[in-house]
Chain A
Amino acid sequence: MKIICKKDKTMHQNKKEKISHRHPQPKRKDNSILLVGPPNVGKSAIFTILTGQYVDVSNYPGTTVEVFSGLSNFPPFIEVVDTPGINNLFPHSLEEEVARDIILKNKDTSTVILIVDAKNLRRGLLLATQLAEIGVPFVFNLNMADEAEKLGLSIDLFKLSKALKTEVNTTVATEKKGVEELKKKLGSARQSDFYPRFEQKIEEAINELITLLPKPSTRYEALAVLINDRFYLSKLASKIDKKTLQKVLKIREKLASHYSEPLAFVIESHRARFIENLIEKVLFREVKRTEEKERLFFDQLALHPIFGFFLLAFVLYFVYLFVGVFGAQIVVDFTEDTIFNKLVNPFWTRLAQFLPWKLLKDFLVGDYGLLTVGLTYALAIVFPIVLFFFLAFSLLEDSGYLPRLATLLNRTFKVIGLNGKAVLPMILGLGCDTMATLTTRILDTPKERIIATLLLSLGIPCSAQLGVITGLLGGLSFKALLIFVLVIVSQLLLVGFLASRLIPGGTSDFLIEIPPLRIPKISNIILKTSYRVEWYIKEAVPLFLLGTAFLFFLDFSGFLKIIENIARPVVNSFLGLPVETTTAFILGFLRRDYGAAGLYKLAKAGLLNPQQILVSVVTITLFVPCIANFLVIIKERGWKVALAIVSFIFPFAFLIGGVLNWLLNYLSIKI
């Protein structure tokens, strides 16, 4: 970016002294640095540079629900916290509320680095006014300065700094430019008084509110009341007594009655004009027409109402080749057959010979052996598949394709009571439904979260399961694969459609930002994938082992036989499957792919004919969520919803499997 900045340093410093006289800044000892800013401005990249520690860098608005922190790699070696992306400090989503809470809680002991996109000064300044209202010292850091320069934008940093009364800095985080300066400027960050002054009536209300609200409150909290910030108000109710609350609400009502527009609009549009005034003075545009260059071919393609779907099909095909063929078949063949079955497992078995008790030997290396079965599934089959899926997913995420996919599919998702935002958990569900269920938090209403959770556990096969399933169906015919996809997709649409009618509650606005398409950075992809794989191993491997142990005891105690006998009529006559598949279904509850792998083994042994393979695969795909997913559903949605979901899915999966079997027989379709 062209930096318009007078080099006269003494003058600059004199000015600053004057400023500090006018606004005496309290002496303080910081114990943290907070990174604050809108999504997709390179916050996480700067975090990585400041801490040297890895962070989940994301391109999809709202992915970083978790907060990342690490020690700064420069003196005074204090904590650096990467807050979730935020567009407005009066929050509209859970992530924004998290970011706001972190700032409010730490405002007396922290300095904020406000990281904004240099191309989008307006939105950065909006946050600056709000940080000024809160009264937390901050450095105003314009990132992606190079991109702004390409667009012909220049910003008068000197004037900007004068108006904000604090330090202004520019960086190009991807090239680590400007970061040293940023570190230096941190020490002289100041509280700003760059916030709009409103009409007298509003100012009076603000002052009145500050005295009533819990101490220490600033004009920020007063404004939160006035603009009807529901997150703040819901917390306020527990902090002050009823009488005071009544008074507080009355002040707002009285003020609101003076205006024909909602107060939020009056206040926020005044703020917008206040910011506009400064922008006119500091922002210069050299080139007017820059859009054409920027509207790249791929961008148009990804959002095209017809060709967008072709691109989607192409992307899915690529993911399938990468994960389903290369990962699940070529790599798994190597890890399972060559490494585990020929090297590792014989080693365990030989080692187990030295064990004195047969029971323990069976437990470790028997038919349901902890090491020979559990560990093999976890590390030889699931691990490579998950690894390749997360590589592909991180690639899609960092390229900026996912928000475009959300835009493309918004209307389709409306049919099932969701909107485009639900694309993220659904795609992630193709990797791991458990992880995806956690991310349903990004959906705005309880109704949407329940529908997404239901559909995830009903019919979105996770990557491990998908890998085994494509392996199974790939051996049959294209027709089988087509029937499988048709059945699953139609059931998702049907159940989603019905759920959207039956579950009470509202749906939310679809309003997302589309970040520019970027070429993903390999180092980022690798870091991100390793972080996710680590999470997966920590979560999955113990459950694999637990599941295998559980099965071992079912088998050992004879319960497996009993369950098989109970299930026989359903499995055998209704689904037309051999009794042995019951074990696969029980396994399916432990881990979905585990169940599919059980079927795979049966099919390899020649116990299933093509129609039986198709029916069993459809049934196990629709079958109950795995234990881990079930536990997360309980945690996220509560017992009632979790039980309701499972008690719907359990009979439903068998029903659809049965109907499919009957239809195939009735229409005498050969697979």
Chain B
Amino acid sequence: MEEHKIDEALEKLWLLKEEAPSKEFFTTSGCIKEASLLKKMEKQGLINLKKNLVKLTPEGESKAKNIVRRHRLAERLFADIIDLEQAQVEGQACHYEHLLSEESADSICILLGHPRTCPHGKPIPPGECCLKGIKEVRPLVIPVSLLREGERAKIAYIGTRDESRLTRLISLGIIPGNEITLLQKKPSFVVKIDQTKLALDEKIAGEIFVRRKTKNSE
């Protein structure tokens, strides 16, 4: 819950700053009332306190930016794609701003074609994906056959209905949760699990789905 509160507070500060870009400090009474929360945020280096005035640190600002970005992207997603009613959009977006990872926010952003504003017309802070102008969503769960050579990933699930193949893969260590490395694609697919190297058909490699490492964990 503490995390939530901090997120909300950062968001509020961002909004205040958005309305008055020239102002540096804001009164605490206008945004964060709990003294303990203020202290905690200061300790984490998110804000600077000056008596009853508060200011976002660069770190706090980047965190706030991301929260707002997620919120507004979620709004766009619910309004444009899922076609929710205006009233519901806000509530859902509030939830999703806490849930979305940076990766998935980027994916939504790419999917929506890097929107610049939320349905209310407020600007969506651009993410890395917008700056790079990425056009295709890089899905998080993909078959091993689509990994880059040398890339490591965690096995998410095995998408085969062939029971014999399934148990055989499991007995060779291809089990959800284990790490797998794609060593090469040509002349045949070669993967490595623990100390076991396996050569396999592209078809089978296409049935082993993995979760790519996110940027944060790399």
Distance to closest chain A CB from B187 (angstroms): 5
Q: Are A264 and B166 in contact (CB under 8 A)?
A: yes
Distance to closest chain B CB from A313 (angstroms): 15
Q: Which residues of A contact B146 (CB under 8 A)?
A: none
Q: Which residues of A contact B167 (CB under 8 A)?
A: 88, 90, 92, 227, 264, 268
Q: Are A123 and B199 in contact (CB under 8 A)?
A: no
Known: A291-B181, A403-B199, A420-B199. 9 other contacts (CB 8 A): A117-B195, A123-B173, A263-B163, A305-B186, A410-B201, A509-B201, A510-B200, A513-B197, A513-B198
Complex Cα gap A272–B187 (Å): 31
Known: A264-B167, A410-B199, A511-B198. A123 touches B188 (CB 8 A): no
Chain A contributes a number of interface residues (CB within 8 A of B) equal to: 45
Listed by A's residue number, 14 A-B pairs whose Cβ atoms lie within 8 Å are A92-B171, A120-B173, A262-B161, A265-B166, A265-B170, A272-B175, A273-B177, A408-B188, A509-B168, A509-B201, A511-B204, A512-B200, A513-B198, A514-B198
Complex Cα gap A512–B191 (Å): 11
Q: Are A272 and B170 in contact (CB under 8 A)?
A: yes
Q: Are B187 and A122 in contact (CB under 8 A)?
A: no
Closest to B168 in A: A92
Q: Are B199 and A512 in contact (CB under 8 A)?
A: yes
Closest to B161 in A: A262
B117 at the interface (CB under 8 A from A): no
Distance to closest chain A CB from B175 (angstroms): 4
Which residues of chain B in 137-176 are interfacial with respect to chain A, using CB atoms and an 8 Å cutoff?
158, 161, 163-173, 175-176
Which residues of chain A in 103-156 are interfacial with respect to chain B, using CB atoms and an 8 Å cutoff?
117, 119-120, 122-123, 126, 151
Complex Cα gap A419–B199 (Å): 12
Q: Are A305 and B187 in contact (CB under 8 A)?
A: yes
B192 at the interface (CB under 8 A from A): yes
Distance to closest chain A CB from B218 (angstroms): 14
Q: Which of A123, A268, A408 contacts B187 (CB 8 A)?
A: A408
Q: Which residues of A contact B190 (CB under 8 A)?
A: 303, 407, 514
B194 at the interface (CB under 8 A from A): yes
Known: A265-B166, A510-B199. A411 touches B194 (CB 8 A): no
Distance to closest chain B CB from A33 (angstroms): 24
A interface residues, Cβ below 8 angstroms from B: 87-88, 90, 92, 117, 119-120, 122-123, 126, 151, 227-228, 230, 262-265, 268-269, 271-273, 276, 291, 303, 305, 308, 403, 406-411, 419-420, 509-516
Q: Are B195 and A119 in contact (CB under 8 A)?
A: yes
Complex Cα gap A272–B167 (Å): 11
Distance to closest chain A CB from B69 (angstroms): 34
Q: Are B188 and A513 in contact (CB under 8 A)?
A: no
Q: Which of A123, A408, A511 contacts B200 (CB 8 A)?
A: A511
Q: Are B168 and A227 in contact (CB under 8 A)?
A: no
B184 at the interface (CB under 8 A from A): yes
Distance to closest chain B CB from A229 (angstroms): 8
Distance to closest chain B CB from A522 (angstroms): 26
Complex Cα gap A80–B73 (Å): 68
Q: Are B184 and A303 in contact (CB under 8 A)?
A: yes
Distance to closest chain A CB from B180 (angstroms): 13
Q: Are A509 and B172 in contact (CB under 8 A)?
A: no
Complex Cα gap A122–B175 (Å): 11
Q: Are A510 and B188 in contact (CB under 8 A)?
A: yes
Distance to closest chain A CB from B217 (angstroms): 14
Q: Which of B170, B197, B201 contacts A268 (CB 8 A)?
A: B170
